[in-house]
Amino acid sequence: MTTVRALTAAECRKIDKPGFYRVADTLYLFVKKQTLRKSWVQRIVIDGKRRNIGLGSFDLVSISKAKDKALKNRIAVADGENPMIDKQRSNVPTFEIAARDMFTGLTFKNDKNRRAWIRQLEIHVFPKIGKMTVDKITGPDVLSIVKNLWKTKPATGKTIRQQVRQVLSYCQAHNYVAHNVAGEAIDGALPKNGIGTKNHRAIDYRDMPDAMKLIRDKVTSLPVRLCMQFIALTATRSNEARSARWSEIDFDSSTWIIPADRMKGKKEHRVPLSKSAMDVLEQAMPLRNPSDLIFPSAKQPHKPIVGSSISRTLQTIGLADKTTIHGFRSTFRT
């Protein structure tokens, strides 16, 4: 039987063709095809399957160090251990690192929501478990963060619990943790909180004609005035109306077709338009511009009017203590 001679360090340096080159028992020099970069790889059988374990870059790890690492792994396998699991454990991130890694891949409706998401963790979570590796975090650790908030600031407590659970689900998917300790396991330990349905202030339907007249007479900004009327007449959400586009209006059937990507429920929504709503659209015709927005901002015509401008207008004309813009939907339902 022919024995393949192991390579020396000098011979390894001269190799410039892609492939695996035997250096010692189970230890190989690997030359990558695309870049010709060299690294140490141990090819070893663990639990009946051949595995490749990376032992470092050729430029950073000496041949003697690579041999020592390979020998240590062979001894571990002979003792019934799995060096790959130990290697994975050494790569387990802290909660803060995992959260920030996950955060970079998340999508948000706007920058405000993006900043708020990470800021909540920076305030309530990172100071307590941010430096802990995620595999060391326990249910009681999560409860210690959430429990007080659950009573005093229920909405914040719920949000924090969801965020921690989300981060640990991310870690579970990457095999950093076996179980999500912020999941159902802690449900029974959390007291009932005061989170309920928030009722927006809504004007009495009998006062609606006077409110509409007030809007028509007192609101000086044409796009804001028309948008407020349109919201009240269609019972839609403020952001849906503010971002409405002419291309969404079917004038033949007097229907506003809101596409799924702009709906909270991510389903296309058809809104029948009354004669009054169609009259509002007719008044908005002079505002048409290349942006296709029905109610463009006066200062930035390529953008919709902002929600805060409507809230301020309600305050200015004296309706803020009676209703919110969202409250128009409640009035409509009555």
Domain CATH for 74: 3.30.160.390
Give the end of a domain, one of 89, 124, 157. Answer: 89
The residue among 89, 115, 143 that closes a domain is 89
CATH number at residue 222: 1.10.443.10
Q: Which residues pair with 249 in a beta bridge?
A: 256
d(C-alpha 61, C-alpha 44), whole Å: 19
Confidence of residue 199 (pLDDT cuts 50, 70, 90): very low
**Is the same domain home to 246 and 276?**
yes
Chain segment 29-80, per-residue pLDDT in tens: 999 888 888 999 999 998 888 888 888 888 888 999 999 999 998 998 888 8
Q: What is the chain's mean pLDDT, rounded?
A: 84
The Cα 171–Cα 158 span in angstroms is 20
Q: What is the pLDDT of residue 202?
A: 58
213 and 102, same domain (yes or no): no
Q: Give the H/E segment covering residue 23.
A: strand 19-24
- Asked if residues 246 and 292 have their Cβ atoms less than 8 Å apart, the reply is yes
Contacts of 164 (CB under 8 A, 6+ apart): 125, 142, 145, 146, 182
> Both 63 and 105 in a single domain?
no
Which residue range forms the structural domain that includes residue 314? 205-333
Long-range contacts (CB closer than 8 Å, 24 or more residues apart) made by 284-289 = 284/222, 284/223, 284/226, 286/222, 287/222, 287/223, 287/226, 288/246
Asked if 84 and 137 sit in the same domain, the reply is no
Residue 3 inside a domain? The answer is: no
Number of domains in the chain: 3
The C-alpha R_g of the chain, in whole angstroms, comes to 31
Q: Does residue 1 lie within any of the structural domains?
A: no
Strand partners, 53: 42
User: pLDDT at residue 111 above 70?
Assistant: yes
Asked if residue 290 and residue 209 are part of one domain, the reply reads yes
* Mean pLDDT, residues 271-292 taken together: 92
Q: Could you tell me if residue 294 is inside a domain? A: yes
Q: Are residues 15 and 84 in the same domain?
A: yes
Q: Which tens digits make up the pLDDT trace of 22-40?
A: 998 899 999 988 888 899 9
CATH code assigned at 125: 1.10.150.130
Q: Are residues 238 and 314 in the same domain?
A: yes
Residue 72 belongs to some domain of the structure? yes
